[in-house]
Amino acid sequence: MKSYPQEQIQAYKEKHKHTGRLLIKCPDQPGIVSAVTRFLHENEANIIESNQYTTDPQDGKFFMRIEFESPKLPAAEEDVKKNFAVIAQSFEMEWSLKGAYNVKKTAVFASKELHCLRELLLEWQSGDLLADIKMVVSNHEDCKELVESFGLPFFHIPSNKNIRKQVEEKQLSLLKEYEIDLIVLARYMQILTPDFVAAFPCQIINIHHSFLPAFIGANPHQRAYDRGVKLIGATSHYVTNDLDEGPIIEQDIVRVDHRDSVEDLKKMGRSVERTVLARGVKWDLEDRLIVHENKTIVF
């Protein structure tokens, strides 16, 4: 099996070498859209896609995502950011301006169950997952052959609760060495410490094999079966220090009934997990997510 050709990533970067994405969160007030679009016009930008959302009057938050092309990118990216910061300050904005040409350097963490990892690698190989996957890290060797068949570096770092600190030190060193932007937990069955999570705020995506907030924690299929649920699902979310309670990115479900065993639920659940994780990761890679409190705005 051939690895995802680097030439395709280079072709994508070349195609989008002048493409920027502006994400904004601020208090709602008149003049925001006018000020932003005027700024883009002054920077010779052509707006490709624009989305905005305003919460209810009590909360009064404004969110916006604009994708645009400008000949000033990437050469003058820092100057564009510096000039936009003046506008951002006047509207009390939390914002980011990212070039689509900066394909995110990604690390995937996995354990023994490989269905989510396999889905991500196949999507990546086909060019449908625009990530620069730098490595796969696992606390088991079950996925070594699979990962190396895609031509990717594989790092086996055994882990348990007694050596978690030392393990995370090794992992963080690797992530720093490869300048990782995004971490995907593809059924990585280890709890991350607060220090690890703090090093990558809203940069770690997890898949939970349950339709959260139902059945948080381990063994959700058995508990769902015992409860006699008629729907099971999966949830991709950003990781926080509260176990399985981070901002939800994507969810999906499948209908079940009394004839389905626990193993049936697990089998159907794996199918949902694969697609839900892949969608969530793609939206992050495309800068379509804005985190607000413990929610996500998905554009």
| Dist. CA 178–CA 244, nearest whole Å | 27
Q: Over 70: is that where the pLDDT of 113 sits?
A: yes
Q: Give 288-299 pLDDT, tens digit per residue.
A: 999 999 999 999
Q: How much is the average pLDDT of 84-111? A: 97
CA distances 91 to 48, 55, 169, Å, are 23, 16, 40
For 136-192, the DSSP string reads EEESSSTTHHHHHHTT--EEE----TTSHHHHHHHHHHHHHHTT--EEEEES--SPP
pLDDT band at 271; cut points 50, 70, 90: very high
User: Considering only 1-15, 49-63, 170-184, 211-225, which range has the smallest mean pLDDT?
Assistant: 1-15
| β pairing state of 132-138 and 105-110 | parallel
Tokens 């620069």 belong to residue: 132
Residue type, position 136, single letter: V
More confident residue, 276 or 231: 276
Catalytic (active site) residue 244:
yes
Q: Give 157-166 pLDDT, tens digit per residue.
A: 999 888 999 9
| Dist. CA 182–CA 102, nearest whole Å | 12
More confident residue, 284 or 262: 284
| Dist. CA 295–CA 292, nearest whole Å | 5
Predicted local distance difference test score (pLDDT) of residue 5: 52
Question: Which residues, 6 or more positions from 183, have their beta carbon under 8 angstroms from its beta carbon?
Answer: 106, 107, 108, 109, 175, 200, 203, 204, 205
Predicted local distance difference test score (pLDDT) of residue 6: 74
Contact 247, 215 (CB under 8 A): no
Q: Give 187-220 pLDDT, tens digit per residue.
A: 999 999 999 999 999 999 999 988 777 777 778 8
What's the chain's average pLDDT?
93
Q: How much is the average pLDDT of 87-110? A: 97
More confident residue, 6 or 113: 113
Contact 22, 64 (CB under 8 A): yes
- What is the residue extent of each domain of the chain? 17-99, 105-298
pLDDT band at 2; cut points 50, 70, 90: very low
Q: Out of 244, 260, 284, 287, pick the active-site residue.
A: 244
Q: Give 242-253 pLDDT, tens digit per residue.
A: 888 899 999 999
In the numeric block, which tokens belong to residue 217?
A: 């924690």
Q: Give 19-28 pLDDT, tens digit per residue.
A: 999 999 999 9
| Dist. CA 53–CA 289, nearest whole Å | 12
Fold of 105-298: Rossmann fold (3.40.50)
More confident residue, 5 or 218: 218
Q: Is the bond leading into 213 cis (omega within 30 degrees of zero)? A: yes
Q: How much is the average pLDDT of 228-234? A: 90
**Cβ count near 208 (within 10 Å):** 27
Predicted local distance difference test score (pLDDT) of residue 282: 97
Residue type, position 270, single letter: R
| Dist. CA 95–CA 84, nearest whole Å | 10
To the question of pTM greater than 0.85 for the whole model, the response is yes
In the numeric block, which tokens belong to residue 193?
A: 């410490």
Q: Over 70: is that where the pLDDT of 185 sits?
A: yes
Fold of 17-99: Alpha-Beta Plaits (3.30.70)
